[in-house]
Amino acid sequence: MLLRHTWRICCVFGSYLFWGCCCLAATESSNTLRDKFNDERPTVIKGITLGGWLLTEPYITPSLYESALKLAGNLGRNGTIVDEFTLCQVLGYEEAKSLLKAHFDSWITEDDFRQISEDGFNLVRLPVGYWAWKEDHERGQYIGNVTYPDPYVSDGLQLDCLEKALSWAKKYQLNVWIDLHGAPGSQNGFDNSGQRIFYDELGWLATEESIQLTKAIWQVMFDSYMKLEDDSTVVGIQIVNEPFSFRLNREMMVKSYYEAFEIFEAHHDSPPAIKFVIHDAFLEIGYWNSHFNPNYGELLEKYTNLTKGFDPQQVLVDHHRYDVFSDGQLRESQQQRIRNIINYGKSIHDELSYHPAVVGEWSGALTDCARWLNGVGIGARYDGTYYDTTDFHTDKDPIGSCISQSPIENWPEWYREEVRQFVEVQLATYSTQTSGYIFWNYKTENAVEWDYLALKKNDMFPQPLDNYTYFEPNGSVKSTKSPVFKPTTTDVHGTSHLWRKPYEHSRNPLWVLLVIIIAAVVAITCRI
């Protein structure tokens, strides 16, 4: 998994009216967006993603991939397993199906939906790969009579789980956003698309078969989830997750977005209760402001023949923000990291008059140290091992050691504080400056900074969700924590301790030694 980025979005009232007219707290008696579409009480999206469930990711469930590797060895099957594509390819259909079915049935259950609702979230994002709609694996036959050979397992397993998820969401009054997380040929080359492609050309939209299958998937998604009963909790359909525009034909990608929107528009007569969700494709803030916007007719005419009017508030822009996938980000102090989030929220707020949006992925991670976060067999930029395990190079020294890979009970207090601060600044900023947030991820096996349940258990994710230690509910820094805007003390790893009390440094023997040395120098100087 290389980069996961984020950016732009929404409209102050338009965006809040979308999710406000559209999204209730889980404690209300009727909370589906469809039920409350005309309710003018603004409500912030407080969402969480069930990543690694219906589309697996090695860093979320490394034991699944370890089991696959062991099984492949026992079966005498050679091959490298780094993603779901190669897992299915190396194991073969039946063995992969057995392994994945056990995972689908156990990783997320009804009790998780109950817990999510009780914890105050009001939306669940459900990632799924295009292969969920495969109809005949032997012939490579997909929905819409499209042939697209690949090794992925389906047989309706993912769609059965998706239906269960919708019923559980309804039972626990949670809204649902269905996300096409993996597209034919891979839209980004990350293992979260199902297929890791570091160096070769991406396959999405590169062939006629990929284009036709993508359209067929969009058609069936809109058919299935826009025409559900009125009390459905589905409120958003994301046409594709994180297309990496810098590795794709950008013009073709934008054109495909509009083609999906035409299919979407054909599925409703009145203003839809489901939002058409696009990822920002890692493009600069402001890029999508004039797209999907009747106020910019010339640009609209370039990509679509839509004749009927539509409200730009039907289109939601999804931004993802992580601060750990470049050396520059990793070298920033805690103070700068927090300033960046606050400024980022303000920049999104400035876009809200164009389209609604959420920060649809973010985490508590301060480093990229989680095992396999960058891919199976790939190390971390933070400690320099990334450059020992890829073809990428750097002239800079490692930044520090991977504290987060120690057992959590061994984490130093200052590190736990900084994770909590980073989580809080994002909750506070995204709640007040955007249409809302969706945290990545609900749980993992051992990647704590990406794991809501583990962070909550260890007091690094507030409960209730706005029970801030360092911020006010309006997003401002608490007056007692104002050092966030002042010069900070930095530890030996380059990490600034923003809110550490001054006297706490006196407990450190190094500080005592430093004071003694300074006093001795002063005394000698005075005698001279």
Helix and strand element counts for the chain (H, E): 14, 13
Q: Is 321 helix (H, G, I), strand (E, B) or coil?
A: coil
The strand ranges marked E within 16-93 are 45-49
Tokens of 181: 């997380």
Both tokens assigned to 255? 């054109």
Q: What does the block give as tokens for 17?
A: 């009216």
CA dihedral for 286, 36, 473, 465, sign (positive or negative): negative
Catalytic residue chosen out of the listed positions 242, 332, 424, 449: 242
Q: Can you tell me the distance from the alpha carbon of 513 to that of 468, in angstroms, rounded to the nearest whole number?
A: 36
Catalytic, 209? Answer no
Closest to 46 measured CA to CA, from 127, 126, 125 = 125
Asked whether the beta carbons of 145 and 123 are under 8 A apart, the reply is no
Over the Cα atoms of the chain, what is R_g? Answer: 24
Spot the catalytic one: 57, 332, 351, 361.
361
Length of the chain as a residue count: 528
Nearest Cα neighbor of 441 from 46, 52, 49, 45 is 49
Q: Which residues is 129 bridged to in the sheet?
A: 182
Strand partners, 134: 142
Is 242 known to be catalytic? yes
Catalytic residue numbers read 242, 361
